Structure formats: C-alpha cells, structure tokens
Chain A
Amino acid sequence: MNLDSKVPSGNIKEKWDKHRFEMKLINPANKRKYKIIVVGTGLAGASATASFGELGYQVETFTYNDSARRAHSIAAQGGINAAKNYPNDADSIWRLFYDTVKGGDFRSREANVYRLAQVSNNIIDQCVGQGVPFAREYGGLLDNRSFGGAQVSRTFYARGQTGQQLLLGAYSALMRQVGAKTVTLHTRKEMMDIVIINGQCRGIITRDLITGKIESHTADAVCLATGGYGNVFFLSTNAQACNVTATYRAYKKGAVFANPCYTQIHPTCIPVSGDHQSKLTLMSESLRNDGRIWVPKNKDDKRPPNQIPEEERDYYLERKYPSFGNLSPRDISSRAAKEVCDDGRGVSSTGYGVYLDFADAINRLGKNVIEERYGNLFEMYERIIGEDPYKTPMMIYPASHYTMGGLWVDYNLMSTIPGLHVLGEANFSDHGANRLGASALMQGLADGYFVIPYTIGHYLASNKFEKVSADHVEFRKAESDTNDKINKMISINGKKTPTQFHRELGKVMWEFVGMGRNEAGLKKALEKIPPIREEFWQNLTVTGEPGDFNIVLEKALRVADFLEFAEVLVWDALERDESCGAHFREEHQYPDGEAMRDDGKFCHVAAWEYQGVGNKPTRHIEPLEFHDVHLAVRSYK
C-alpha cells in the first residue's frame, strides 16, 4: 500500500495557501446537492458540522449522547494554544510549529503541523466572535498563560473550563445551523459501521440507543470525529462512553490505523480507590509547581503521612532528577511513580499512589497563596477523596489521558478509504508521539473550522457519485451484519458482564502496554488478550432486549471492539523497537531515563491494515521527512 500524504510541494509557509488555491471549488448553488455525514459532536465534529452547514451542504450529524453539548472535549481544563504573540514574548507561527514538532518527538508530519500553527490564530478570533468568555486583563484584552513544553505564554483560557467554553461555542454554531435546517442532528444514535460502494465511503449504519433500531444513512462523504481510544486501559480520564468503535469499524473496512501505540499517560490524576472505580480524574499539572512528590522509604511503612519523619521520606523525583525535580516531564514523572509503587512503597489503600505534599509551600507562602493558586483543585480533590489537602498530602497516580494515534489521514484529512475523512483526536496527524498541553483543543478546532471545510469541497468536486439509497445491497448487508452480531451477543447467555471483560483487558493493557513497555511484556500481552476475547464470545451475558434502551448491550458492543483493537496497539508497540515521546520501550533509554529514538529505523509513521480478527495486521510505512526542523534529541534541560 502506498501511503501518499498528498503534501503540496513548495515552501512550507506557502503549502496551505497554494493548496487552497489549487483545490477545486463547488459553486454555492450546487453545494446543497451534496450530503455529508459527521459522526461525533466534540470540538472537531461540531465545528466541522457548523462550517459545512454555513457553506450550504446538507449535513447529518450523529452523537451517542443525549445532546451535542456533552462530548468529552468539554472536560478539557487548561487552555488552547495560538501563535498570536499578544504578550510580545517572541512567539510566532514558526515557534508554535517548532515546539509542536519537538514536543511530538519528531514523529509527526511537518506540513500538517505547520498548517495547524498557521490556523491557530483564526481559532481564537472565531471563538471570541462566538462569545467565548476567555480570561481578560484589566485593559479588556485577552490574557495568556504558559504551559508545558513552551517558553512563551501562548495559551488562552477560560478559568479551568476552556474545553467547556470552546465546545459550547462550537455547539451554539452547530445548533444555529440546526435551526437554519442545513443540519439534521441525530442524538442517542451510535455508529455501528461504515458502508463502501464502488470504493467510496457512502454512508453509515447506526443503532438508535432508545429503540435499538438499526438504521442506514447515505451520504457523499463521511467525517469521523469520534475521539480517542484511551478507554482501552479501562480506567482513564476519558468519559465513560468514549470508545474505539467508529474508528475500529472503519479500520475493519480497510482504513489503515496509524501509530496506535502512541498513548499519553498523565502523571497527576487522583488514584484508584478500589475495584468499583469507574474513572480517573485529572488534576491540573500546575500543582507540581508547588507540591513535592514523595513516598515512604520503607516498604511496610503504613503510618499516616504526617507521622513519617522527614528522613524516612523519599522525594524520589528530587533525588533522581535533581535539576528538574518535581517538574520533570510527564512521561518521566509517570514512570518514576510506577517504579516506586511496583517496589511496594506506594501509598493509598491500593498501594498505587504517591504523595503530592504542599506543607512546605504552605509554610513558605502561606495558605492563602496556595488557596489562590489551586483552591478549586483542592476542593475537587477533597470532594473525591474526603481529605483536606491543606492538612494531609494529596495522593496522585498516572492515568491514561489522550491518544495520539488514530486513523491514518493524508494532508486533506482523508483516510485510505476515499470519502472517509477523520478529524480531531480520531486521526493521527499532528501530535506525533506526544501531545503538548493545550494543543488538543487547537487541533480539534483547526480540523473542523479551517481545514476540512476546504478539503472536503475538493473531494466532492473531484469525484462522481452515483445515486445510492439505503436499500442498496451494501447497506442491507451492513445492517444485517450488525444485527447478527447483536443477536449473537444476546444469545450467549454466559456469566460475565461486559464491564468484567473490559476490566480484565484494561489490567493487561495497563500492566504490559502502559507507561513502560518491553519486548517480553508486550509478547505476554499478545498471549493474554486473545483468551479474554474468546471467553467474551462464549461467556458474555447481556440482559434485556436488543430493540430497547439497553445499556448492557451498548457497553458490550464497545468492549467487543476494544478486545480486537487492543492487539493492534500491542503489535505497534512491539514493532516500534525504539522509544519516542510517550512510547517508552525500556530497552531504549538514555542513562537519565529519557526516551532514545532510532531515527535510522523508525523515522516513519506505522499504519496497520486489517487482516482478520486475531491475525497480525500488515504494517505499512509513511516515511517522515524533516526539511524545516532538524531532528535532535528532545531535551528540556
């Protein structure tokens, strides 16, 4: 398979302008003759939908939530990057581009990242125009703050709820188009499959989550904006319903899946408290500015933290990384926490937690300063854990947070299936092996507002579309495949719930494919996943009827896909025999624990092609070429 990135020729600064000029256009009066389906209403899906509607296309948009406003983009806290250079600190499009390529450990596609940096400024204008209440200074102008991986202040924010405010902005633009009748919004409908006719993606199959009805929807082009697959680890900072089904079904129909092993683990989350745990809550990383991380020196020290004297504490980050200490990079901090817990020195009831202690900072700065800086976070912590972090050290532990991998797309955001486009976290293109803070919101909105509205027009104008209806044999077949699968699940009548299987899979993934990976562990994961999947299809229980609001069936359908997808992720981690960004192969590290890349062998995108359940997929390569950024060791020292 030839993975043609379709990156335009010429100077990187002019590629996007040149491409926009060269792309074919559709006459405004003809746009209404084309129908586009968008799956997902997060930042990418909602912004794309609104933009398509404004242009005059017929749009049908789908979400499994009860409203388009619930998508998990809403939970992003910190902010959104843009190269405005309002603080006059020498920021530029070029610097944002460079920081993002470097942050991704030189595993992203240069031209895509440059375009992302270029349109970042338009995003801020757009959101302000929509009435997003960004933080402001007393002069009335926008305020900025700094974030990890950058030496400039380029992050725009709306308190700790930036994702919420940006999503509500996109949602309002979407709802305006619903009112204008250019967009039909389908809520509580989950995508089950895509349909390909004559080599083109021509629609989707959905399941109505209220009635259970399996339905066909036709279109001239389809956009998946269905988010990431962090829930493959069972516990993550993702919302409960986040799943891999949409992208995985597209993969099974021939779209290749790129870099699935690039999964980001966030170091500061609230730890697991027991088997009942359903999710892990992120605490802003900014806490590490004033908190000191430690565990007891002795394994069996079960005393409350306040009774452990100073000399019996191990401030392991300060000890191992004296120059960076508690502010060591995300991946290093995460792995160090796992190490001390695996050593039996972890805290919290499960032994998987470390202390983040503010006592010194409170003594030095006073309680009121700490309250000003982190008051809302302390409150959130107390609500969940029931302890006052002003008096008792917080407990934290790393958790799965974001997935950089996703369906492979070219410069036009089109997958290897003609007509099937992929936006936001669901695609792979911009973050390489590691995403920087405040860049997820930027990418979702860049794709939806400023890239896909142009590139999809080019696709529609360049191709001919035969008329298809939902009665077409391919739709009928996809519907009956979905029904067969559901009936099979219902008829197993086994003893284990979908959640039990999901938890089992998550344990394997977290242990062997989580923060640190090695050949032996990955091979073990490849042995352990298939038996879980086989048992799923023999011992699953699904109560209730398929033609009803059935939360067990919903979950079973999602878990079934995670059980297949997990293996693709492991294969990718095994074959990428280097460390880069968030993909840490323990065999490949510098003495200080930094990831050691192997540019000679792995300076490429690995994209996997489906070869049947349980069979090793085929690995294809898109070489990465760096003309404008020089490959270097990623260092933050």
Chain B
Amino acid sequence: MKLTLHIWRQKSARDKGKFEEHLVDDVSPDMSFLEMLDVLNESLIHQGKEPFAYDHDCREGICGACSLTINGTPHGPEAATTTCQLHMRKFKNGDSIFIEPFRARAFPIIKDLVVDRSAFDRIIQVGGFISVGTNQPQDANALPVSKLKAELAMDAAACIGCGACAAACPNGASMLFVAAKVSQFALLPQGQPERKKRVVAMVEQMEKEGFGGCTNFYECEAVCPKQVSVRFIAMMNRDFLGATLTKE
C-alpha cells in the first residue's frame, strides 16, 4: 500500500508545531499502525533525520501508553481498539492519514506525538485507592461480594488510563477516567469507608488539573478502547452530589 502521512512535528512544549508530510510505500496490510510508523522512523534515521517520538510500550492493548489521534479520532477508526492493536488492513491504498497527539488542555505536548498525562496520576494520588497498608487486610473470603457487583466493578476497573476519553471530549473532560476509578471502589464493600471523601477529592483534583466538565457528548465512551460505559459518570455524579450534601 502507498499512503500519504501528515504527522505532527513539534520540537518541545515551547515550540510551535506543524504537520509534516511523508509518503510511504510498501506498507503491508499485516503491519500494526505503530509498526508502520516504526518503518517510517527507521527510514528517517537512515536519512539522518530525527524520527517522530511517540509513546508506546506493551503493544498488546493493555498498558495504555500509546496515544495517537488518527484522522481526528483518538486511537483511530476501529472501535474498542488501542492504536497499537490497529492494523493497516483497515486502511486503503492511496489513503491520506493525519496523525496527531492526544489533544486536551490538561495534556501538554512534550515532543511530536508525546503528551504529558501525569495529571491522571495526580488524580489517583488524592483518592484513587483504598487506604489499606501491607499486611492489614483480613482473609480474602471474609468479605463476600455479589458476583454482579464484582463484575460491574471489573468493567470499570478495565480502564487503561490512556486518556483517549479526555482527548475525544469537546470539553477536554476526563470524567470517564475518574468515574471508572470512583465507581470501581464505590461498587465494592472495601471502598465504602472512604467513598465520600474519595469522590470529592478526585473530582476537585480533576478540575484543578484543567479538565473540563461533562456535557453528555458521550464521545469518551465511543473512543474508549476498553468500552468503559458512561453509566459510571452518572454513578459518580450521584456520589459526588450525595457526598457534598451530606458532609460527614
């Protein structure tokens, strides 16, 4: 396949970026999207040019590192698929592809296609945990959890922290990410003692980081590679309201 790539080039956070055009031929439909970029990068190095920097690691859709906006959609055209799991057979010979970083106010660009998503870590840091020290818990089976609730908690816990939700949202909101963590713990008995404190702390930090608010576009759910449901946002909103109205 022959493709025309328009790839975002930006030297650093301070510099202005722009699209750079590259023609690639010999693209095999069996390549993953990132392997296609690897091949381009190798040829750039051979020409003495700098390759495009992008984040990636596990290449099996679970670490959450890869983060490209492909033709305007975070993680590209295929539903429930991270960029690293997207394959070139989803494109046609002669296609033009625009490749950009994840764009959100709270994700400053570091270089080329690499963004800083440490805002997510800071949100977790203020409450995305259950306060239990090493060796403190009781026997694992001492606390039964309904299978349905455990399954639902797992649906929320499947979030890989990639940030596609915020990149897809017209408001740059990260509600889906925050709601997934809040809901996972709200659904489990272990999460109850800190339930109110957690949701308030995490939502406040989310706002401090510069993420926008949810206005029900549902773009986040549409791009989420793990299909985390917007129902969790409703759950979080209810918890947040309850927590602020009934301060302990």
Interfacial residues, chain A to chain B (CB-CB below 8 A): 47, 50-51, 54, 65-72, 74-75, 84, 86, 122, 124-142, 158-159, 161, 163-165, 168, 171-173, 175-176, 178-179, 185, 187, 210, 239-241, 273-274, 276-279, 281-282, 349, 380, 383-386, 449-450, 453, 495, 497, 499-500, 541, 543-544, 548-549, 551-552
Contacts and interface: CB of A to CB of B under 8 A. Distances in A.
A187 B135 CA distance: 27
Contact of A158 (B42, B137, B154): B154
Interface stretch (B44-52, B69-77, B211-219, B235-243): B44-52
Contact of B118 (A67, A130, A551, A552): A67
Interface of B: 12, 28-32, 34-36, 38-39, 41-42, 44-46, 48-51, 53, 55-65, 78, 81, 85, 87, 89, 110-111, 114, 116-118, 120-121, 124-126, 128-141, 143-147, 150-151, 153-154, 157-158, 160-161, 184-185, 188, 190-191
Contact of B125 (A65, A175, A239, A549): A175
B49 A453 contact: no
Nearest to B158: A161
Contact of B185 (A47, A131, A135, A171): A131
B121 A131 contact: no
A128 B125 contact: no
A65 B13 CA distance: 19
B134 A134 contact: no
A274 B30 contact: yes
A55 B196 CA distance: 27
A140 B64 contact: no
A122 B87 CA distance: 42
B131 A176 contact: yes
Contact of A175 (B28, B45, B114, B121): B121
B62 A142 contact: no
Contacts of B129: 130, 172-173, 175-176
Chain B interface secondary structure, helix, strand, loop or mixed?
Answer: loop
B55 A66 contact: yes
Given A67-B120, A70-B57, A543 B49 contact: yes
B57 A72 contact: yes
A128 B32 CA distance: 36
Contacts of A128: 137, 140, 143, 190
A65 B185 CA distance: 26
A281 B60 contact: yes
A67 B161 contact: yes
Contact of A72 (B41, B58, B87): B58
Nearest to B56: A240
Given A72-B58, A168-B157, 7 more contacts: A74-B63, A124-B140, A125-B138, A126-B135, A131-B188, A164-B158, A187-B118
Contact of B57 (A51, A241, A499): A241
Contacts of B128: 172, 175
A499 B53 contact: no
A269 B23 CA distance: 32
Given A273-B30, A543-B51, A549-B53, A140 B59 contact: no
